């Protein structure tokens, strides 16, 4: 079990899971629906199973690439800790469990589950033919708040879509930063990425633009909710401020000449940003 948790980097659920919870509590606050712990449990299971399927499939599809990359050669499949067929079985089981959970939630989620799986599994192929791979990853994680809202209400709404757009811009931006460390390797195998297409300086510039757009959407969403609830939401505003500050902080510690703090920027800073923002917004919805 420990090896499979390592395979799918279970700790990285810290990026999307808080936004899934945000979508759940947004639906309750926006519609006055009574909280349903069964639905919340199914949402959490969907998040776990979907992410397991996505990451497991990525490791399975990229196993030959990972074997050639010094940064990834010690991953579970290249290192022989988990066999390729075992990883594929793991992916299939998790995809089926995800689909079953959506069936237990409502018809809308069930009917849209193949679309969600297509996006999160399809991401693994994109870097072979297009530099938009970072945006497909962002799109996959952006489903978290929208899907949770759908699980509670069975319908779409503007606010969860705005939160989804925030996740899309935010994740795409920091994944571009993370991809900088593989720029030379990706070029050697003709793999596609923003750093390969635009170079280090261009990639950092595009990442900055995406995060500025995310920051603007965070501020706009806080304003929109203040208008809707006809009061100033101080916790939401604090969460927005902290999230925006952490976005800018991660760019301050990365430069074209110094990539030594990429892991700090990628995991620590963005994990804290997700937890603080979503946690404070949820508290605002509740109280």
- Alpha helices (H) in the chain, listed in sequence order: 2-7, 17-31, 37-61, 63-68, 84-105, 107-126, 133-153, 158-179, 183-188, 194-229, 234-252, 262-263, 270-286
pLDDT digits 0-9 by tens, 157-195? 999 999 999 999 999 999 999 999 899 999 999 999 999
Strand partners, 255: 258
pLDDT digit string (tens) for 245-268?
A: 999 998 888 887 877 778 766 778
* C-alpha to C-alpha distance for 80 and 132, rounded to whole angstroms: 31
Cβ pair 75, 59 in contact under 8 A = yes
Average pLDDT, the chain: 91
Structural domains counted in the chain = 1
Q: Which token pair is 159? A: 């606010």
pLDDT bracket for residue 59 (50, 70, 90): very high
Q: Give the pLDDT confidence score for residue 119 in this predicted structure.
A: 96
Q: Are 147 and 46 in contact (CB under 8 A)?
A: yes
CATH number where 275 lies? 1.10.357.140
- Of the candidate ranges 24-38, 168-182, 198-212, 223-237, the one whose mean pLDDT is the lowest: 223-237
Task: Give me the domain span that covers residue 205.
Answer: 2-286
Within 10 angstroms of residue 95's Cβ, the number of other Cβ atoms is: 22
Helix axes 194-229, 158-179, angle to 10 degrees: 150
Written as six digits, the tokens of 103 are: 């069936």
pLDDT band at 279 (very low <50, low <70, confident <90, very high): very high
């Amino acid at each position: 079990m420990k090896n499979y948790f390592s395979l799918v980097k279970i700790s990285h659920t810290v990026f999307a899971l808080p936004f899934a919870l945000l979508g759940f509590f947004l639906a309750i606050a926006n519609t006055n629906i009574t909280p349903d712990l069964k639905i919340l449990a199914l949402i959490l299971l969907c998040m776990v199973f979907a992410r397991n399927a996505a990451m497991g499939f990525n490791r399975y599809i990229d196993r030959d690439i990972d074997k050639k990359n010094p940064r990834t050669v010690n991953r579970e499949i290249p290192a022989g800790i988990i066999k390729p067929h075992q990883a594929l079985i793991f992916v299939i089981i998790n995809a089926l469990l995800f689909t079953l959970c959506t069936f237990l939630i409502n018809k809308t989620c069930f009917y849209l589950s193949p679309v969600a799986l297509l996006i999160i599994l399809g991401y693994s192929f994109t870097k072979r033919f297009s530099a938009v791979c970072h945006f497909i990853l962002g799109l996959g994680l952006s489903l978290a708040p929208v899907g949770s809202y759908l699980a509670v209400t069975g319908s779409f709404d503007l606010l969860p879509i705005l939160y989804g757009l925030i996740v899309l811009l935010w994740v795409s931006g920091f994944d571009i930063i993370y991809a900088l460390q593989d720029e030379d390797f990706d070029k050697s195998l003709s793999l596609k990425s923003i750093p390969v297409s635009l170079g280090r300086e261009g990639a950092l510039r595009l990442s900055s633009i995406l995060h500025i757009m995310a920051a603007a959407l965070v501020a706009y969403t806080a304003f929109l909710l203040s208008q809707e609830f006809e009061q100033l939401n101080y916790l939401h505003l604090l969460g927005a401020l902290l999230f925006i500050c952490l976005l800018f902080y991660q760019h301050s510690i990365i430069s074209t000449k110094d990539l030594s703090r990429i892991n700090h920027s990628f995991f620590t800073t963005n994990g804290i940003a997700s937890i603080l923002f979503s946690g404070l917004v949820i508290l605002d919805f509740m109280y």
